[in-house]
Structure 1
Amino acid sequence: MPTRSTLRCRFLATAAPGLAPTKASLLASLLASILTCAAGPAAAEERSDKTTEAKPPVTLDGKGITLRFDDGSKFRIGGRLQGDFGTGRVQQRGFGTVFEEPAAIRRAWIETYYSLKDFEFAFQYDVNEPRVPVSDAIVAYKGFRDVIITQGNFKEPFSLDQLISDNVSQFTERSQADAFVPARNFGAAIGTHGANWTAVTGVFGGNINTGLQNNGIASTTRLTYTPWLSENKNDVLHLGLAGSYRSLDDDARSLSLSSRSEAFLFARPLVNTRTIRDATAIGRVGVEAAWQQGPFRLQGEYILTDIERRDGRPPLLFQGGYIQASVVLNDKGRPYRVAPTYGSEYGVFTGVTVEERQRVSRGGTGLFELGVRYSAIDLESREVRGGVEHDFTAGVNWYPEPNIRFVFDYIRSHAEPSAESLNFGRRTVDADVFIGRAQLYW
């Protein structure tokens, strides 16, 4: 029999008095209901009810709305909302607008997950992104021991930084080296793992949003090994190697590489190759390492990118990487996850855990996490004058509740030489950026 608080949560999730049924108002109603039920007294009342071990058929908590069926299957509706705000300054006359706007929605995802025996289904849709709204759209089979076969649109197995979810990323944006990472495309992959190793490989075409036949065919593989992994998965030494090779069809879209200062609101990239029209293939090799002991974590990557060209022209070589350090001030570090539920996210760090006593709604102060990062990207090769950029980032994350996060980052960007496309005569460009993010995920 549902309690009064349970019924109250269900009502809040479906009604928002006084608001017109627009996309924005419906999203606001859902966010309000999640906050009320996850952090308020109603949630505490439901957790304190220990009269039965069986989970109710419908629950609403920090993980979203979950429906459980008699056949053992489970359906969950979740989401994430990230709003960015900030300001910046570029020490170069004529640069123009630094931020196109001082605040904007970074992501507004609706996510659905369905588990049925040995199958997993997932679909993620960003209502804020008109060009590439679909993120994950997959079906996965887990009927073989320690093996996951995934087909659909999902991340290619490349780069620890990319494979860590943006829900729990250390900073508001990934490093400069992420410009070389293939990210999400449509394809199939098979992954397996042992106690301290993982291996995943796949074949991918184009992105489901922009055309499956675009940009040729890629083969991507990633291997990880943890020579040291504690029983609680918190203390770890992680090593990884990834490789990707994509052949580009003659009618594929022209290739270009660029990277903005590590802030979503930044208006123009400081480094940019422009269009590389004669590219026939792109190869990538990435090495990664991470060490975590208690609340301290050190992580870094290096990526080398080779672009082959037609008519016997010599290849272009670009490179980038980062190194970062972080500490969780009043708790242990981020747990290490060997195998995912589906897809290619093997051997990654997950988010921090906010204990009940630490929640602001229970009288605590939440969790605080500090981090610093240095990253660099080099887009200079032969006649391509894409520029070289070095970024330094310092940030603090505050987690007042298990599903709420506030991020505050300062980024110092230094491009020397700047990209030819900026039309600054290849002169040095320096930028200072302050970026914040308010995030809710469930």
Structure 2
Amino acid sequence: MIRARPAPTFLAATLACIAPARAGDAFEGMAGPYGERLRYDEKGLSLTFPEPDVSLQIGGRLHIDAGGALFSRPGLPEAFPDHVAVRRSWIEPTLTIGRDWLIAFQYDFSDPVLPINDAFVAWKGLPDTIVTLGNMKVPLSLEWLQSNNDTLFVERSGANALVPERRFGVAVGRNGQAWTAVAGVFANAASNGIAGDGVAVGGRATVAPILEERETLHLGLAVIDRRRSRSDGAFSFSAPAGSALFERQLVDTGDLPDAARVTRLGAEFAYRRGPFLLQAEYIRAALQPFAGPGMATSVLGFQGGYVEAAWVLNGEGRGYTRAPQGGTTYATFKGVAVAEGQRVSRGGTGVFELAARYSAIDLDTRGFRGGLEQDVTLGLSWYPEPNLRLIANYVHGRVRPGDAQSETYGTAPFSVDTIIGRLQIYW
């Protein structure tokens, strides 16, 4: 049974956009009365006007997950309420006006809680500078800033639980030959009405001491500091073990209504040489409660990190991009490219990628028990076409549940083995 179903119009658009990739042909219409042209290919549908210089690109993505999980301890509840679910069903129109303006919007039909993803206006009127206003990713974590189309595994690491979701704000980014810097001010998510989670200030800086066509060394630092009032909603951290199909989070702090200030620090490392990629991050979050009259506050510290590696078996390695079209996603690694002769529709075998990861998140601190989780993930991805990917992951997780999960999972440690697959279509 599928938990969430995309709208029929979205499915129709999905099937329409993958058809050219399978048929291997693109279509470009004749110029209209104003010089406009309609193009239809594996990247989706685009409409361009030469005067004025305007183009509309309609993209999207559809991620469908299927899998199962087995707990080591008997008596625990069923892991997955549904073994097949739509993870994402996005429609993504992007309007480009001349060289200086870009308007981007992403809507997820499968997410009733936070359906709005990117929704911003970007201005690029200054050299190597982007000013963005709207809903966007907060600039923290290389893994988070990378597109979910291009991450090495079905899900990001457990450490990603310490990274905030997209927020509404304003950000300014710049990039040089081998460096990037972006900073901004952020409120709550657009889907939540912007207000209700305080105000955050933060930024991220990266440098690439080695930046060549087949070799890249990436280093990055980021900090996000959020101040909250007593009227803001409850705060929490939680993480599943490698799959969004889990009905309940495996480690969870529960609601932390007394969070006055949350400061996150992140350190990044990545090295790419040809088809090989090594990537690692460490993230720490410090939560400071509100101080009562004459009372000292005790800061709660949570931490997480991962180390992962990938090897493209029969293709080029992942490219490195310094600047986005808009938003805060500077200095990230792109997805795997499929050469024309490697496409299954051209008689090829596609491109294969192997990956492995160790990740950990620790939500225990100063007598507070939110839980500890450590995961080892093995992954295989197959790219038969440029806009089609099939992923298979095996995740072995070791969990020590916290107090908020004790009624569900008890207090004794246990392990969980998960097999998860994904059909991923994107254009």
- Which range, TM-score by smaller chain? over 0.9
Is 1:436 the counterpart of 2:421 in the alignment?
yes
Is 1:283 the counterpart of 2:263 in the alignment?
yes
SS of the residue corresponding to residue 324 of structure 2 reads: coil
**Cα 1:278/1:91, change in 2 over 3 Å:** same
User: Is the 8 Å Cα contact of residues 418 and 429 (structure 1) preserved in structure 2?
Assistant: no
User: Is the 8 Å Cα contact of residues 10 and 91 (structure 2) preserved in structure 1?
Assistant: no
Which residues of structure 2 form unaligned runs of 5+? 30-34
Determine the structure 2 residue equivalent to 1:9.
none
Determine the structure 1 residue equivalent to 2:254.
274
SS of the residue corresponding to residue 355 of structure 2 reads: strand
User: Displacement, 1:274?
Assistant: 1.1
Is 1:258 the counterpart of 2:258 in the alignment?
no
SS of the residue corresponding to residue 361 of structure 2 reads: strand
Determine the structure 2 residue equivalent to 1:171.
153
User: Is the 8 Å Cα contact of residues 418 and 427 (structure 1) preserved in structure 2?
Assistant: no
User: Displacement, 1:419?
Assistant: 4.9
Is 1:40 the counterpart of 2:23 in the alignment?
yes
**Distance in 2 of aligned mates of 1:129 and 1:383:** 35
CA deviation vs aligned residue, 1:278-319 (integer Å, no higher than 9, x gap): 110100100000000000000000001100012222110110
Is 1:385 the counterpart of 2:369 in the alignment?
yes
User: Displacement, 1:129?
Assistant: 1.0
Determine the structure 2 residue equivalent to 1:28.
11
CA deviation vs aligned residue, 1:97-132 (integer Å, no higher than 9, x gap): 111100000000001101112111001101111111
User: Is the 8 Å Cα contact of residues 412 and 432 (structure 1) preserved in structure 2?
Assistant: yes
Determine the structure 2 residue equivalent to 1:331.
315
User: Displacement, 1:257?
Assistant: 0.9
Determine the structure 1 residue equivalent to 2:120.
138
Residues 419-430 of structure 1 mapped to structure 2, 5 A cutoff: 419-423=403-407, 424-430=409-415
Determine the structure 1 residue equivalent to 2:326.
342
Is 1:217 the counterpart of 2:186 in the alignment?
no
Is 1:99 the counterpart of 2:80 in the alignment?
yes
Determine the structure 1 residue equivalent to 2:183.
201
User: Displacement, 1:62?
Assistant: 1.3
CA deviation vs aligned residue, 1:129-170 (integer Å, no higher than 9, x gap): 111111011001000000000000000111000000001111
Determine the structure 1 residue equivalent to 2:90.
109
Determine the structure 2 residue equivalent to 1:11.
none
Residues 145-184 of structure 1 mapped to structure 2, 5 A cutoff: 145-184=127-166
CA deviation vs aligned residue, 1:351-408 (integer Å, no higher than 9, x gap): 1110100000000000000000000000001232111110000000000000000010
**What amino acid maps onto 1:72 in structure 2?**
D
Match among 67, 71, 89 for residue 86 of structure 1:
67
User: Displacement, 1:206?
Assistant: 0.4
**Cα 1:357/1:157, change in 2 over 3 Å:** same
**Cα 1:187/1:41, change in 2 over 3 Å:** closer
User: Displacement, 1:32?
Assistant: 2.3
User: Displacement, 1:41?
Assistant: 4.5
Determine the structure 2 residue equivalent to 1:354.
338
**Distance in 1 of aligned mates of 2:15 and 2:89:** 15
User: Displacement, 1:421?
Assistant: 2.0
Determine the structure 2 residue equivalent to 1:17.
none
**What amino acid maps onto 1:30 in structure 2?**
A
TM-score (norm. length: structure 1): 0.90
TM-score (norm. length: structure 2): 0.93
**Distance in 2 of aligned mates of 1:270 and 1:203:** 32
**Distance in 2 of aligned mates of 1:74 and 1:417:** 51
**Distance in 2 of aligned mates of 1:126 and 1:355:** 30
CA deviation vs aligned residue, 1:204-226 (integer Å, no higher than 9, x gap): 00000012111100001000000
**What amino acid maps onto 1:103 in structure 2?**
V
What count of residue pairs does the alignment treat as equivalent? Answer: 411
**What amino acid maps onto 2:276 in structure 1?**
F
**Distance in 2 of aligned mates of 1:134 and 1:333:** 32
Identical positions, percent: 42
User: Displacement, 1:420?
Assistant: 4.8
**What amino acid maps onto 1:237 in structure 2?**
L
User: Is the 8 Å Cα contact of residues 397 and 407 (structure 1) preserved in structure 2?
Assistant: yes
**What amino acid maps onto 1:152 in structure 2?**
G
**What amino acid maps onto 2:420 in structure 1?**
I
Which residues of structure 1 form unaligned runs of 5+? 1-21, 50-54
**What amino acid maps onto 1:39 in structure 2?**
R
